[in-house]
Structure 1
């Protein structure tokens, strides 16, 4: 007879399954939104830089950096949500 891990059986196991599923879903959505926002910011920044040349480069670079910052922040939050859903510290 196999030995079961009692901490992941019954109600606790069901709760971990539900929170893990929800955490992974919310984390995935958050990461997707962050990736899209980051790509959009960098694209707009590159467009401004390309259209205005060196005069608009600081503005274009700033917008691109904001996009990357949002993307990185969203990825960090998404990882935290996924970890919480898996009951990790």
Structure 2
């Protein structure tokens, strides 16, 4: 018969459930905001490049890169929030 793990019972289990739900919600919202910002920035960058050709390509690429950076950063922060909500290190 396996030994029971009592770490997730009682008040600790309830606290983990609540913080996990909150962490996953906040993390999901952050990830969504980052994805929207990244997609919008890439779209603006592509539009600038398309409208101006090679003259505007550096600006378009910079805006696209900035959006991708924001998206990646938001994803990383969101993952950290979710991990913290699940009491992971």
- Report runs of 4+ in structure 1 exceeding 3 Å deviation: 1-4
- Quote the Cα distance in structure 2 between the aligned partners of 1:2 and 1:20: 26
Return 5+ residue gaps in structure 2 as ranges.
none
What does residue 36 of structure 1 align with?
Answer: 36
Aligned-pair distance for 1:2? 7.7
- Quote the Cα distance in structure 2 between the aligned partners of 1:87 and 1:40: 33
Return 5+ residue gaps in structure 1 as ranges.
none
Aligned-pair distance for 1:3? 5.0
Deviations 1:27-65 (A, max 9, x none): 000000000000000000000000000000000000000
TM-score of the pair, normalised by structure 1:
0.96
RMSD: 1.2
